[in-house]
Amino acid sequence: MSDVASKPIPEPTPETAEYWAGAARQELMIQRCTQCGRHQFPPRMLCTACSSRELEWVRARGLAAVRSFTVVRRPVSEAFAEDVPYVVALVVLDEGPTLMTNIIGCKTEELRIGMRVTVCFDNRTPSCSIPQFAPSV
């Protein structure tokens, strides 16, 4: 049995609070600029395309493509020792933004650039869930 309690728990900031609240609801939330319509991640106070402060939170569909990945074989801490080998990846959401995440539910040798993946959640505590991705079925 893995000691999930010892894994780090993110501390929400004013910019990321809605993202983490959404994850706890099993929803992947990203920002959308109401001026230019562009989606962005990670969360910021301003739109990175037009500098508008008129940002809204929207639920992403949770569909993405793998852009790049690496296989971690040496855990960064004891909390992740039972997870190795695990995958850290960059995935491009269908809405546009890129996220760093884990890919689960797939043998590392089966991972491919461009593979379609769908969001899922690692529920670490009742109020903290970490968005991850698994191959789309």
The span from the CA of 105 to the CA of 134, in Å, is: 6
* Bridge pairing between strands 29-33 and 39-40: antiparallel
Our finding on whether 35 is near Zn ion (CB under 5 A) is yes
Our finding on whether 47 is near Zn ion (CB under 5 A) is yes
Neighbour count for residue 88 (Cβ, 10 Å) = 14
Our finding on whether 125 is near Zn ion (CB under 5 A) is no
**Residue from 52, 125, 127, 136 in contact with Zn ion (CB under 5 A):** 52
How many residues touch Zn ion under the rule CB under 5 A: the total is: 7
**Residue from 4, 9, 17, 49 in contact with Zn ion (CB under 5 A):** 49
The answer to whether 122 touches 92, Cβ cutoff 8 Å, is no
Site for Zn ion, rule CB under 5 A: 33, 35-36, 47, 49-50, 52
